[in-house]
Amino acid sequence: LAASLLFVSPAVVAAACNEDGLVQGEGFAPSATLATGPGQPRPPPCEGGECAVEAAPPVPESGPDVGGIAPVNTCATAKVLGAVSGDTGANVITAMGPCSEWLRVRVTENDTGVGGAAQQVRITLTPTGQDYDLLAYVDTANDVLSCINPTLRSEKTGTAVDEVTLSWGEGATGNNADDSRDVSILVVAKEPCAGGSSWSLSVRGNP
């Protein structure tokens, strides 16, 4: 009995689908042949349950449309020069460079007197060897970074000195608000930067 249980006829268990549907038993006759095409390369295995998708290369950020050479950085990644007081003292920060560049300075409110005192900062650009232009940006209403529309600009030709003076905040009376602001500065080379050409910049608070 045990030996007979181990033997099962293939005709009894075979099954396939033909034109008439599912057929079982001795009449099994496959009615189709599975066609296979050329194999496709297997993708690499995913690690950690996720498949990494190759990202497109980043698009270089172009400079503002000011008719010059694009800066080496962006407004968001500007070189931070430090801070000057806009209403006390007369401290000065300086910088220099060879080509177009974004810079940033913090102008702070320090006068705590009863009367009002406006925030003021004077920015002076001195070119050497070629023409550079000066653009300054500040959001006078809110303490947020300004990068789009220049508040003031100086675009003298040749190696003439460019200078702007920004002013905002209190008038004759105080406004019970902190008028400290970030000032963005853009130096623009008007032609390809060559050896021997450079610029120097000074930022004077409370001029």
What pLDDT, in 10s, does the model give residues 75-93?
999 999 999 999 999 999 9
In this structure, the number of other CB atoms found within 10 A of the CB of residue 199 comes to 27
Phi, psi of 187 (to 5 degrees): -100, 125
pLDDT computed for residue 114 by the predictor: 75
Output 39 or 162, whichever has higher pLDDT: 162
Domains (range + CATH), the chain = 79-205 (2.60.120.380)
| CA dist 35 → 17, 18, 86, 194 (Å) | 16, 16, 81, 67
* Residue (of 50, 45, 20, 16) closest to 33 by Cα position: 16
pLDDT computed for residue 147 by the predictor: 97
Confidence of residue 184 (pLDDT cuts 50, 70, 90): very high
Task: Please compute the mean of the pLDDT values over residues 36-63 and round it to a whole number.
Answer: 44
Per residue in 92-112, pLDDT (tens digit) is 999 999 999 999 999 999 987
In this structure, the number of other CB atoms found within 10 A of the CB of residue 99 comes to 20
Confidence of residue 53 (pLDDT cuts 50, 70, 90): very low
pTM confidence score: 0.68
Residue pair 124/163 in contact by the 8 Å Cβ criterion: yes
Mean pLDDT over the full length of the chain: 79
Residue pair 121/105 in contact by the 8 Å Cβ criterion: yes
Full DSSP string of 125-153: EEEESS-EEEEEE--SSSSS---SS-SEE
pLDDT computed for residue 207 by the predictor: 96
Per residue in 164-173, pLDDT (tens digit) is 999 999 887 7
Task: Please compute the mean of the pLDDT values over residues 138-161 and round it to a whole number.
Answer: 97
d(C-alpha 199, C-alpha 68), whole Å: 15
d(C-alpha 1, C-alpha 17), whole Å: 34
d(C-alpha 156, C-alpha 203), whole Å: 18
Task: Please compute the mean of the pLDDT values over residues 159-178 and round it to a whole number.
Answer: 90
Structure tokens at 112: 């705590």
* Weakest mean pLDDT among 110-114, 162-166, 181-185, 195-199: 110-114
Query: SS3 of 49, please?
Result: coil
